[in-house]
């Protein structure tokens, strides 16, 4: 004997003359993405990412453009007022040329040009010496740099020991003077490229002339720029003679 089950009747919502099955499909709610704010039915056609104010965007762009133009004008004005790059790096070509030209007269050296010591000119002369040695087939960059440091410290110690308490020579000034007085040795290094290698006597004679030139210039500058060196001129000139003889021998051999 089959058991009877009671099934409740299915009731469809009223669809005003529309097929119940079709009306049920049309009235299904479209799922929304999570964390989305609820929208009123009237704004269903508006896109959320297009809802921005054009007036505020235009004003912000105008204000942004105004700030950029004003900052650009300020930057251009400040750029014109800035110093040249060489002056910011402490390199003054006019001063270097003035000091170098003062060494060219072996009989009378202008000591007032060397009161403001710098290292840009000596570095330029050291590089020129290294370049001429390289053209002669001698790679001596490290040797020249080491001898320059040792020579500057040597002359600084000798002068201050001779002057005693009256000596006021600092290492920066001593390095600057030794570097600028290296100009005769640089000229000799350039001239040695055109002197035949076999004539050793001529090379020694030319080297002696340039060494005496550099020694005289360095001694006069050391005595004029520092106190307490006039009475020890002979010993100071001997130390300078040893320094520039060392560099001239480096050029010869």
> In this predicted structure, what is the pLDDT of residue 197?
72
> In this predicted structure, what is the pLDDT of residue 116?
87
> In this predicted structure, what is the pLDDT of residue 135?
94
Q: What percent of the chain has pLDDT over 90?
A: 41
C-alpha dihedral, 193 to 197 to 201 to 206, nearest 10°: 0
> In this predicted structure, what is the pLDDT of residue 203?
86
Burial readout 94-111 (b: 16 or more C-beta within 10 A, e: otherwise): eebeebbebbeebeebeb
Query: How far from each other are the two terminal CA atoms of the chain, in whole angstroms?
Result: 131
Q: How far apart are CA 155 and CA 87, in angstroms?
A: 30
> In this predicted structure, what is the pLDDT of residue 202?
83
Domain-by-domain residue ranges, the chain?
A: 93-252
Contact (Cβ atoms closer than 8 angstroms) between residue 118 and residue 176: yes
Q: How far apart are CA 111 and CA 14, in angstroms?
A: 114
> In this predicted structure, what is the pLDDT of residue 107?
78
Residue ranges, the chain, pLDDT below 50: 17-18, 20-26, 43-52, 55, 57-70, 72-73
């Amino acid at each position: 004997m089959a058991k009877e089950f009671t099934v409740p009747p299915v009731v469809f919502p009223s669809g005003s003359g529309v097929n119940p099955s079709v009306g049920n499909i049309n009235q299904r709610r479209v799922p929304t993405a999570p964390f989305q704010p609820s929208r009123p039915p009237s704004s269903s056609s508006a896109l959320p990412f297009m809802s921005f104010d054009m007036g505020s965007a235009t004003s912000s762009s105008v204000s942004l453009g105004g700030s950029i133009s004003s900052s650009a004008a300020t930057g251009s004005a400040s750029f014109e007022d800035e110093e040249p790059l060489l002056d910011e790096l402490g390199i003054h070509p006019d001063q270097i040329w003035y000091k170098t030209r003062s060494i060219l007269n072996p009989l009378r050296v202008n000591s007032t040009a060397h009161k403001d010591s710098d290292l840009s000119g000596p570095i330029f002369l050291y590089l020129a010496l290294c370049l001429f040695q390289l053209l002669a087939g001698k790679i001596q960059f490290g040797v020249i740099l080491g001898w320059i440091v040792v020579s500057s410290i040597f002359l600084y110690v000798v002068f201050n020991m001779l002057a005693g308490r009256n000596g006021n020579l600092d290492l920066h000034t001593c390095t600057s003077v030794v570097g600028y007085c290296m100009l005769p040795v640089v000229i000799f290094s350039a001239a040695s490229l055109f002197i035949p290698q076999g004539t050793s006597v001529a090379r020694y004679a030319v080297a002696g002339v340039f060494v005496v030139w550099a020694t005289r210039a360095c001694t006069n500058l050391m005595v004029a720029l520092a106190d307490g060196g006039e009475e020890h001129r002979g010993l100071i000139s001997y130390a300078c003679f040893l320094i520039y003889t060392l560099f001239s021998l480096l050029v010869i051999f």
